[in-house]
């Protein structure tokens, strides 16, 4: 297990938590407090195997392809691997990538009639690499924030959120104000929206005359839950669906609550000409029912959006 490292805010991305020999952990995704979202999440969490239903291969090419820049026949997508469903992970063969983001990227490619070359990268490395042209787009549950919109274009396909979890013996029941974290150790992923939120708001404690909370960031995501289970941290901040999945799989931990909702989208270099085609493709998937099939497969129906948008303002709920 790696030693936790402190990293200041850079480009950031939601992260997926991985399984280890001792723990069954969480994944990228988002959830809902409504009954349908909770039920779907529970069903996915209790599944013995990774969902393998094919919801992509039969998708036909659509007129949305006409919106692609002339001559576009293939694109390179960057994904971050290391999670459990619905985050990006491997099938039992140890080679084939699967997950909600993978299905959405493949589905859009089918609608647009293009080939995808998938490359793996760390979460924090993907967004900076878009500007250099190393990848055409990223698909790893990237939340849309006003800060990121300065340098990145997004095409939304789900709605996600930030949430908290802790040990069952904790007196914490719900976190509605970060001042409730004062004096505690908070574990999260390096380079994520969670780290950024925590670091940017530390002053709420000192301004209130209280001891600041300590942000423990981990590059190896499996170590996050180990730190909670072993008492080195008091709270975990991560994605809503990921937390719910983890709580369903582990003993001695509990999901606290949603804290902040975010739209999630494919990430592109600022000024990309690919965005209109991707937006049309996502809306086509919503209209023909494929979108719902993907969400139901991964137990994330609470993450559904009514329509795709290009770089919408950050949700301020």
If one compares 223 and 24, the residue with the highest pLDDT of the two is 223
Any residues with CB less than 8 A from the CB of 274 and at least 6 apart, and which?
Answer: 68, 69, 72, 75, 136, 137, 268
Provide DSSP, 124-162: HHHHHHHHHTS-SEEEEEEEP-TTGGGTEEEEEEEEEEE
**Nearest residue to 284 via CA among 28, 60, 5, 17:** 60
Q: Is residue 60 predicted with pLDDT exceeding 50?
A: yes
Q: Is residue 3 predicted with pLDDT exceeding 60?
A: no
Q: Is residue 5 predicted with pLDDT exceeding 80?
A: no
Q: How far apart are CA 42 and CA 197, in angstroms?
A: 27
Q: What pLDDT, on a 0 to 100 scale, did the predictor assign at position 32?
A: 32
Kindly state the helix (H) or strand (E) to which residue 90 belongs, with its residue range: strand 89-90
Kindly state the helix (H) or strand (E) to which residue 44 belongs, with its residue range: helix 35-46
Q: What pLDDT, on a 0 to 100 scale, did the predictor assign at position 36?
A: 34
Mean pLDDT of 187-215: 91
Backbone phi and psi for residue 43, each to the nearest 5 degrees, phi listed first? -65, -40
What are the b/e assignments for 28-53, b being 16+ CB within 10 Å?
A: bbbbbeeeebbebbeebbeeeebbee
**Nearest residue to 17 via CA among 190, 170, 173, 201:** 190
Q: Note the maximum CA span of the chain.
A: 60
12-26, 46-60, 140-154: least confidently modelled range:
12-26
If one compares 65 and 26, the residue with the highest pLDDT of the two is 65
Q: What pLDDT, on a 0 to 100 scale, did the predictor assign at position 123?
A: 84
Mean pLDDT of 80-102: 86
- The Cα-based distances of 256 to 33, 107, 170, 182, 296 in angstroms read 11, 33, 10, 16, 24
The SS3 call for residue 41 is helix
Question: Environment class of residue 211 by beta-carbon count within 10 Å: exposed (0-12), middle (13-18) or buried (19+)?
Answer: exposed
Mean pLDDT of 291-301: 92
pLDDT in tens, 172-195: 999 999 999 999 999 998 778 889
Q: What pLDDT, on a 0 to 100 scale, did the predictor assign at position 84?
A: 64
What are 160's two structure tokens? 């996600």
pLDDT in tens, 282-293: 999 999 999 999
Mean pLDDT of 234-246: 84
If one compares 267 and 34, the residue with the highest pLDDT of the two is 267
Binned at pLDDT 50, 70 and 90, residue 83 comes out as: low
Mean pLDDT of 159-183: 94
Binned at pLDDT 50, 70 and 90, residue 221 comes out as: low
Mean pLDDT of 45-59: 79
Q: Is residue 10 predicted with pLDDT exceeding 50?
A: no
User: Cis peptide before 86, with omega less than 30 degrees from 0?
Assistant: yes
Question: Environment class of residue 2 by beta-carbon count within 10 Å: exposed (0-12), middle (13-18) or buried (19+)?
Answer: exposed
Cβ–Cβ under 8 Å, residues 44 and 298: yes
84-93, 202-211, 230-239, 285-294: least confidently modelled range:
84-93
Mean pLDDT of 225-250: 86
Binned at pLDDT 50, 70 and 90, residue 220 comes out as: low
Question: Environment class of residue 106 by beta-carbon count within 10 Å: exposed (0-12), middle (13-18) or buried (19+)?
Answer: buried
- The partner residues of 167 in beta bridges, in order of sequence, read 253
Number of separate helices (H) and strands (E) present in the chain = 9, 10
Mean pLDDT of 189-212: 91
Our CA angle for 69, 75, 76, nearest 5°, is: 145
Binned at pLDDT 50, 70 and 90, residue 17 comes out as: very low
Q: What pLDDT, on a 0 to 100 scale, did the predictor assign at position 248?
A: 76
Q: What pLDDT, on a 0 to 100 scale, did the predictor assign at position 147?
A: 92
Q: How far apart are CA 90 and CA 82, in angstroms?
A: 8
The alpha carbon dihedral of 233, 236, 175, 146 has a sign of: positive
Q: What pLDDT, on a 0 to 100 scale, did the predictor assign at position 133?
A: 95
Q: What pLDDT, on a 0 to 100 scale, did the predictor assign at position 187?
A: 95
Mean pLDDT computed over every residue of the chain: 84
Q: Is residue 27 predicted with pLDDT exceeding 60?
A: no
């Amino acid at each position: 297990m790696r030693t936790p490292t402190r990293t200041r805010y850079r480009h950031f991305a939601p992260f997926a938590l991985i399984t280890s020999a001792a723990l069954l952990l969480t994944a990228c995704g988002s959830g809902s407090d409504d009954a349908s979202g909770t039920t779907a999440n529970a069903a996915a969490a209790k599944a013995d195997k990774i969902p393998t239903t094919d919801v992509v291969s039969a998708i036909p090419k659509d007129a949305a392809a006409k919106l692609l820049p002339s001559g576009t026949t293939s694109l390179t997508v960057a994904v971050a691997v290391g999670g459990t469903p619905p985050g990006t992970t491997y099938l039992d063969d140890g080679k084939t990538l699967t997950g909600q983001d993978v299905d959405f990227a493949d589905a859009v490619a089918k609608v647009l009639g293009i080939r995808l070359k998938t490359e793996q990268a760390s979460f924090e490395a993907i967004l900076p690499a878009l500007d250099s042209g190393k990848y055409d787009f990223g698909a790893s549950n990237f939340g849309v924030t006003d800060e990121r919109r300065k340098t990145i274009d997004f095409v939304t396909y789900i709605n996600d959120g930030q949430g908290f979890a802790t040990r069952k013996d904790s007196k914490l029941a719900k976190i509605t104000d970060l001042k409730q974290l004062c004096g505690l150790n908070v574990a999260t992923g390096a380079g994520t929206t969670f780290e950024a939120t925590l670091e940017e708001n530390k002053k709420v404690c000192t301004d209130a005359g209280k001891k600041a909370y300590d942000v423990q960031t981990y590059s190896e995501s499996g170590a996050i839950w180990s730190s909670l289970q072993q008492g080195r941290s008091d709270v975990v901040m991560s994605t809503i669906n990921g937390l719910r999945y983890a709580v369903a799989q582990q003993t001695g931990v509990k999901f606290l609550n949603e804290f902040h909702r975010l739209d999630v989208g494919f990430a592109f270099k600022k000024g990309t000409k690919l965005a209109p085609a991707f937006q049309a493709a996502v809306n086509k998937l919503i209209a023909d029912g494929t979108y719902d099939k993907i969400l139901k497969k991964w137990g994330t129906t609470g993450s559904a959006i009514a329509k795709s948008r290009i770089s919408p303002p950050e949700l301020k709920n």
